[in-house]
Amino acid sequence: MEMRHAKGEGLWNGKAFKVIIMAAGMSRRFGGNKLLTGFHGRPLADWIFKAVEAAGCEPGDVTVVWHDPSVAVLSEVYGYNTCYNAAPEEGQSVSVRLGIEAAGAARAYLFLTADQPLLSGQTIAGMLSAFPLGKGKIMMASWQGKVGNPVIFDAWFKSELLELTGDTGGRRIIKLHPEAAVRYEVEFAEELMDVDHVQDLERLSEILSSYSDL
């Protein structure tokens, strides 16, 4: 498995990529729609929407897969395309399939989850810049050996992504093709931290507050 670092510079060709933000989860463990929960003055999902904008992604290349209409309204402020997932209970694979179908043709697909508020636009742009287009690769964000989201799939894997079922997501494809995996090292561990429980949100809030105190 190759390792690429977050210090790469250079412009990435946004037209080659489609960005898919998965924002249709059921939030069962959280006890409510976590994506609309306030986090330092903004809805949680707004943090990833803003990070994608900061990365320089063209709004027309971004698709937000949603279930709650309020999430769609929030994303439309940024000019992003939206796609309704009527069956989020069937698992993450539904959002993957709907997102690809709505996004259309691309040379690669970047998948993000909407519950990583400390993921930076710099990291997103860095991954897009570093991704080796046309070489059949899968790039995962990582920190000191731990992998997470975002993930970029070369279009070579499109058919396999569309055939996913249940809640396995793209991890199944990564396991089937370990030779294709490329890791992109992020600068801070908390960029990979997502929100499943209220306690996770509280922990991320403490981390963000500590940044402000520096």
Edge-first strand order for the sheet with 81-84 is 2-5, 181-185, 138-143, 146-154, 108-113, 17-23, 62-66, 81-84
**Predicted confidence (pLDDT) per residue in 35-48, tens digit:** 988 999 999 999 99
Q: pLDDT over 90 for what percent of the chain? A: 68
CATH of domain 2-213: 3.90.550.10
pLDDT of amino acid 11? 40
Domain parsing of the chain, residue ranges: 2-213
Q: State the residue for tokens 């396995």.
A: 168
DSSP string, 120-169: -HHHHHHHHHH--TTS--EEEEEETTEEEEEEEEEGGGHHHHHT--TT-T
Q: For all residues of the chain together, what is the average pLDDT?
A: 88
pLDDT of res. 1? 38
d(CA 176, CA 174): 5
pLDDT surpasses 50 at 4: no
pLDDT tens track for 61-119: 999 999 999 999 999 999 999 999 999 888 889 999 999 999 999 999 999 999 999 99
Indicate whether 20 pLDDT > 70. yes
Determine the Cα–Cα distance for residues 75 and 119; give it in Å rounded to an integer: 17
> Looking at residue 75, what is its pLDDT?
96
Give residue 212's pLDDT band: very low, low, confident or very high (50, 70, 90).
low
Residue 2 reports pLDDT greater than 60: no
